[in-house]
Amino acid sequence: MTDHISEQSFSQVKSIPLMLTINELAQKCKGSGITPYRIRQMALEGTIPCIRAGNKILINADRFADYLNNPNQNPDMTLQGKIRPLSWR
């Protein structure tokens, strides 16, 4: 039995997001002043969503661009990985 994805099951996936490493994303953002260090910090803080693949941190390029275009419009990203404030009655 092989461990590959068949073309039929692969075609059922609606869209595969473009996932980039921190260095690849920094190269795409070259000239904007965003360094690999800052992208890494944003990922570790939970400011931008990311996944880990081994030692690599992968970031969805479209969601990162959305965050850069509208940093205050993504409240779900800003609280990711943090304690949310509670309102006292």
Look at residue 56 in the predicted model and tell me its pLDDT.
Answer: 93
- Please tell me the distance from the alpha carbon of residue 4 to that of residue 2, in angstroms, as a whole number: 6
Look at residue 9 in the predicted model and tell me its pLDDT.
Answer: 63
- Please tell me the distance from the alpha carbon of residue 34 to that of residue 54, in angstroms, as a whole number: 24
**Domain boundaries in the chain?**
17-78
| Average pLDDT score over residue span 3-7 | 62
Residues forming a β-bridge with 51: 58
pLDDT tens, position by position, 29-85: 888 889 999 999 999 988 888 999 999 999 999 999 888 888 776 555 545 555 556
Tokens of 24: 């690849």
